[in-house]
């Protein structure tokens, strides 16, 4: 789908009017049709134009979600679950109008089972709030997309982030979840057992379903002990190729690196500017090792040997928590840092993921593409998984620049697919990548549609996302 | 479902006759209606009575699977995929008759991408054959259910085994798969990328679907480097409680043990008898640590401290490959060893999985249940995941013993569910655990049914498994 194709769908005006009347009466000041609030609920971290919902409601419990779903379902009104609005592919837009269900008041941590290394949270809990809450238990939740996203949103988009190379993605870290279905049924996809062979894996079906199958009301997550030693560092490399080859060797040797992140020269420059740092302005890897003192040191030593062989420069180590936090905040802010390169520009953020043996080639060709077209587009990436991001700065008032950005993204997706990769490692499809999804899959999309139709025959759960139902 | 409820369903005699005629002509000597062969294809490692298919066919390629599916679909004839026949809950029975599709001649390893730590295999490849093939590459595939099962069967049942505590289950180690659907569509659920956020997770939907959604034709698996040091050992404990508490502390401390297996006193006795060993005949943990020399030693040391605190006795270590193989063969043969306790008896093997904090309690209550009823029922388990097995020896000619075994299994499932666990950690549902599935889930089974109906409206893919469609 091109940007210009993200158009409004059919609106059920009568149903929307009825639902608004009922929900307004029921939820009072926790329900709003105010323009500013509605605009805020469609304006996300994305290049895709906003399509605002007709109203926003703030439930405080699963029972209230159920009430909202029942009203919307009775009147066939679209529902769009909203976490923190940090998704990147237009996931919270309301192309057919409808009600934005803002989960920010469902922000309770319902239970921490420290002895079982799991917890149960409401969908509006953010990853940073969860980790603040957990700190005294000695446990942490590792999944960290760039933004301080909500656990509900992270579940819905199958988020990952810098720790995925060691700890997996949301797919690997959601034990089970509860949701309200379009027909008002409340489901619980599993137990707290660490593994199960009982029937179809509904948990994994909901993880990554982008709100199109039901509204999440709680999520049970795996937790991990905070390692006794965490050693982080930045290592400059003479070229992106050299840095990527160091990553490939690290993974192939089985070094269980916790984080291994690439920033190209342009991304380092932007990061220095934005975060007030003075790292060398060439390609670099940000790495982190977890373990006992001895084990973290052993991993760091092995990685150091690899980096040395490939021309890596002196490490800048950060072992104290404050220094580490500063380092990783700079990495997480890379998206925002990009804007310093072209003040006033918009950002077209995209990601792909390829088998690691093809990573250097894929990044290399992408950099050539960027250079050839004169784009301003830093590259950062979770390269241990073969996943990287391009954040292209463009002028959203320029039709030509939009078309160029779209064409670039299309070439990038096709390049990744040709290398046996995927058109999105972690951002998801939303509205922005539906054409790429069609290039990645064929009749499999019909299977996905048939599940959607079976679960949501009136297409009221976040319609128009992942694929069209028409 | 009680044993006595595993009854034959409706048979489409005319369709079966037509399909047999066509397939016989097409596949010649690779198609058989011989009684002995048909019986072999329903007689599996299970206590559930056999329900034999009408014919067996041996395809040698995905294209031949497609041909078979097209013939069966055209005549609405059930198809039952068959790997090695080592499933435990009646998965390959043919309650409505139909064609057993034996995948043993689809046993090619299609590709090993050593640099990406993955491989593509046909469904009939067994886990031992795969690891023999991989040995020279320095890589291995860790998932090891007791039997030398086929990768197709392991995928279909979401198998795990002794390494799951460190390496995950089939859910975590299948990157993607190809399958033929009931309508003849051939699908490919994903790419070789390590992670993806592109649409519904069809890969995980097929993993554990027990052949009810389509016939697998290839599976792409994650591989791992063979650790430079592997240290295995057996540690006796004064009681099951002490052993289980050692497991709990090990997991909670985050020691990345590769294997941690419990055998109770009865299982140790049987193992000694069957495998010609002379381990102390009390409860024991079989453990294994993977890593560099230093790291494996560090893990073993930390575990040794925990074991010592809980009264664990002297370790019997096995670091050489031959010794380790002997140790783990004994553990894998525990199922067969059980039969030495009561020659001529049948074995009722069942498994449950609970949060690890409830594991000691669950095993303790189960042992009391066994003692109270005077059963002969050794316990073994992948206790690092909270997963354990009871293998009850019973006389299959005794109606009373069958009823007692069924009642015991029902109590065990209910006990696990009451402790926030699941009625099967790895064996699956098949025919044997459908009542337990209904106790574990409610309307979620209707969602599963709706997926099955969407993918296989005529209910010809392994009908009667997981849940009934009537």
Question: Strand pairing of B224-225 and B229-236?
Answer: unpaired
At residue A142, φ and ψ (nearest 5 deg) are -85, -20
- Contact assignment for A421 to B193 by CB distance below 8 Å: yes
Is some CB atom of chain B closer than 8 A to the CB atom of A345? no
- Contact assignment for B116 to A357 by CB distance below 8 Å: yes
| B464 occurs within a structural domain | no
Is some CB atom of chain B closer than 8 A to the CB atom of A157? yes
- Contact assignment for A357 to B225 by CB distance below 8 Å: no
CA A98 – CA A371 distance, rounded (Å): 42
* Residues A159 and A237 both lie in one domain: no
Question: Which has the closest alpha carbon to A44: A96, A106, A100?
Answer: A100
Is some CB atom of chain A closer than 8 A to the CB atom of B423? yes
- Contact assignment for A196 to B454 by CB distance below 8 Å: no
B-proximal residues of A, 207-236, CB under 8 Å: 207-209, 224-225, 227
Q: What is the pLDDT of residue B7?
A: 66
Is residue A397 within 8 Å of A405, Cβ to Cβ? no
| A466 occurs within a structural domain | no
Residues 6+ apart with CB under 8 A from A196: A190, B158, B353, B422, B424, B425
* Residues A211 and A279 both lie in one domain: no
Last-in-domain residue among B105, B123, B144: B105
Q: What is the pLDDT of residue B184?
A: 96
Nearest CA in chain A to B248: A115
| A468 occurs within a structural domain | no
Distance from CA of B111 to the nearest CA of A (A): 13
Separation of CA A303 from chain center: 28
Set of chain B residues whose Cβ sits within 8 Å of the Cβ of A199: 208, 429, 437, 441, 444-445, 448, 466-467
A-proximal residues of B, 261-290, CB under 8 Å: none
A-proximal residues of B, 48-107, CB under 8 Å: none
CA A355 – CA A366 distance, rounded (Å): 15
* Residues B131 and B205 both lie in one domain: yes
Q: For B204-238, how does the pLDDT look when each residue is reduced to its tens digit (9 = 90+)?
A: 999 999 999 999 999 999 999 999 999 999 999 99
pLDDT(B269) > 50: yes
| A452 occurs within a structural domain | no
Q: What is the pLDDT of residue B68?
A: 98
Is some CB atom of chain A closer than 8 A to the CB atom of B361? no
| A445 occurs within a structural domain | no
CA B221 – CA B175 distance, rounded (Å): 6
Set of chain B residues whose Cβ sits within 8 Å of the Cβ of A195: 160, 164, 169, 171, 353, 385, 387, 422, 425-426
Q: DSSP per residue over A268-312, as a string?
A: HHHHHHHHT----SS-EEEEEEEESHHHHHHHHHHHHHHHHHTT-
pLDDT(B4) > 50: no
* Residues B114 and B216 both lie in one domain: yes
* Residues A288 and A374 both lie in one domain: no
* Residues B26 and B87 both lie in one domain: yes
Q: For B147-199, how does the pLDDT look when each residue is reduced to its tens digit (9 = 90+)?
A: 999 999 999 999 999 999 999 999 999 999 999 999 999 999 999 999 999 99
The shortest CB-CB distance from A195 to any of B117, B425, B436 is to B425
- What are the Cα distances from residue A29, in Å, to A58, A150, A152, A259, B161? 9, 23, 23, 44, 54
Q: For B50-82, how does the pLDDT look when each residue is reduced to its tens digit (9 = 90+)?
A: 999 999 999 999 999 999 999 999 999 999 999
| A319 occurs within a structural domain | yes
What is this model's ipTM? 0.96
Set of chain A residues whose Cβ sits within 8 Å of the Cβ of B118: 355
The shortest CB-CB distance from B192 to any of A201, A420, A448 is to A420
Provide the sign of the torsion angle of the four alpha carbons A353, A355, A358, A360, taken in this order: positive
Q: How many residues does chain B have?
A: 470
Burial pattern A269-293, b for ≥16 Cβ within 10 A else e, equals: bbbbebbeeebbbbbbbbbbbbbbe
CA B324 – CA B55 distance, rounded (Å): 41
Q: For A177-226, how does the pLDDT look when each residue is reduced to its tens digit (9 = 90+)?
A: 999 999 999 999 999 999 999 999 999 999 999 999 999 999 999 999 99
* Residues A314 and A276 both lie in one domain: yes
List the beta bridge partners of residue B394: B346
Count of the separate structural domains present in chain A: 4
Nearest CA in chain B to A467: B199
- Contact assignment for B443 to A187 by CB distance below 8 Å: yes
Set of chain B residues whose Cβ sits within 8 Å of the Cβ of A253: 225
Distance from CA of B317 to the nearest CA of A (A): 22
Give residue B1's pLDDT band: very low, low, confident or very high (50, 70, 90).
Answer: very low
The shortest CB-CB distance from A426 to any of B195, B205, B444 is to B195
**The CATH number of the domain where B61 resides is what?**
3.30.43.10
Of B337 and A1, more confident: B337
The shortest CB-CB distance from B195 to any of A204, A353, A444 is to A353
- What domain range includes position A291? 229-336
Is some CB atom of chain A closer than 8 A to the CB atom of B39? no
* Residues B101 and B151 both lie in one domain: no
Share of chain B above pLDDT 90, in %: 88
Average pLDDT over residues B304-312: 95
- Contact assignment for A353 to B188 by CB distance below 8 Å: no
Q: Is the pTM of this model over 0.90?
A: yes
CA B256 – CA B142 distance, rounded (Å): 15
* Residues B294 and B245 both lie in one domain: yes
- Residues (pLDDT < 70) of chain A are 1-7
Distance from CA of B18 to the nearest CA of A (A): 29
**The CATH number of the domain where B245 resides is what?**
3.30.70.2190
Last-in-domain residue among B292, B309, B336: B336
CA B92 – CA B141 distance, rounded (Å): 25
Set of chain A residues whose Cβ sits within 8 Å of the Cβ of B417: 191
| B255 occurs within a structural domain | yes
Q: For B277-300, how does the pLDDT look when each residue is reduced to its tens digit (9 = 90+)?
A: 999 999 999 999 999 999 999 999
| B434 occurs within a structural domain | no
The shortest CB-CB distance from A354 to any of B193, B425, B429 is to B193
CA B252 – CA B273 distance, rounded (Å): 34
Q: Which two tokens stand for residue A2?
A: 């091109």
- Contact assignment for B425 to A197 by CB distance below 8 Å: yes
Question: What does pLDDT average to over chain B?
Answer: 94
CA A415 – CA A8 distance, rounded (Å): 30
φ/ψ bin of B459: left (φ > 0), alpha (ψ from -120 to 50), beta (otherwise): left
Angle CA B111–B114–B120, to nearest 5: 25
**The CATH number of the domain where A172 resides is what?**
3.30.465.10
CA B114 – CA B126 distance, rounded (Å): 19
Q: For B436-456, how does the pLDDT look when each residue is reduced to its tens digit (9 = 90+)?
A: 999 999 999 999 999 999 999
Mutate to test the interface with B, among A164, A173, A194, A467 (most CBs of B within 10 A): A194
Last-in-domain residue among B56, B80, B105: B105
- Contact assignment for A192 to B421 by CB distance below 8 Å: yes
Set of chain B residues whose Cβ sits within 8 Å of the Cβ of A252: 115, 117, 225
* Residues A221 and A124 both lie in one domain: yes
* Residues B236 and B330 both lie in one domain: yes
* Residues B319 and B349 both lie in one domain: no
**The CATH number of the domain where B370 resides is what?**
3.30.70.2740
């Amino acid at each position: 789908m091109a940007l210009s194709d993200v158009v409004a769908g059919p609106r059920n005006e009568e149903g929307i009017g009825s639902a608004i009347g009922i929900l307004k009466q029921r939820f009072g000041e926790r329900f709003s049709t105010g323009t500013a609030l509605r605009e805020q609920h469609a304006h996300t971290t994305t290049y895709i134009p906003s399509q605002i919902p007709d109203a926003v409601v703030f439930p405080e419990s699963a029972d209230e979600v159920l009430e909202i779903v029942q009203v919307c379902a009775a009147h066939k009104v679209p529902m769009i679950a909203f976490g923190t609005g940090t998704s990147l592919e237009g996931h919270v837009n309301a192309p057919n109008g409808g009600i934005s269900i803002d989960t920010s008041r469902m922000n309770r941590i319902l239970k921490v089972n420290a002895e079982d290394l799991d917890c149960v949270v409401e969908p509006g809990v953010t990853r940073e709030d969860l980790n603040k809450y957990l700190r005294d238990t000695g446990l942490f939740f590792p999944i960290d997309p760039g933004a301080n996203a909500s656990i509900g949103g992270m579940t819905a988009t199958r988020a990952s982030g810098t720790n995925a190379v060691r700890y997996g993605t949301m797919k690997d870290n959601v034990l089970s979840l509860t949701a309200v279905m379009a027909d008002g049924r409340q489901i619980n996809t599993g137990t707290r057992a660490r593994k199960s062979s009982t029937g179809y894996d509904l948990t994994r079906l909901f993880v990554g379903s982008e709100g199109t199958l039901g509204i999440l009301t709680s999520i049970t997550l795996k937790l991990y002990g905070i390692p006794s030693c965490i050693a982080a560092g930045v290592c400059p490399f003479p070229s992106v190729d050299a840095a990527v080859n160091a990553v490939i060797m690290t993974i192939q040797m089985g070094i269980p690196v916790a984080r291994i992140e690439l920033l190209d020269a342009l991304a380092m420059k932007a990061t220095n500017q934005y975060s007030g740092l003075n790292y060398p302005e060439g390609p670099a890897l940000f790495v982190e090792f977890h373990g006992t003192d001895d084990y973290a040191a052993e991993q760091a030593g092995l990685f150091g040997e690899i980096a040395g062989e490939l021309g890596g420069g002196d490490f800048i180590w950060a072992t104290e928590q404050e220094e580490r936090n500063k380092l990783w905040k700079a990495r997480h802010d890379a998206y925002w840092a990009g804007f310093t390169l072209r003040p006033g520009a918009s950002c077209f953020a995209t990601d792909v993921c390829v088998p690691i043996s093809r990573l250097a080639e894929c990044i290399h060709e992408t950099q050539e593409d960027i250079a050839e077209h004169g784009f301003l587009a830093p590259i950062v990436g979770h390269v241990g998984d073969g996943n990287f991001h391009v954040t292209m700065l463009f002028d959203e008032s320029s039709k030509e620049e939009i078309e160029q950005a779209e064409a670039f993204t299309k070439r990038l997706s096709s390049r990744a697919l040709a290398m046996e990769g995927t058109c999105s490692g972690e951002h998801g499809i939303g509205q922005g990548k539906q054409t790429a999804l069609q290039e990645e899959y064929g009749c499999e999309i019909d299977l996905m549609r048939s599940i959607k139709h079976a679960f949501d025959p009136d297409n009221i759960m976040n319609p128009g996302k992942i694929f069209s139902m028409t």
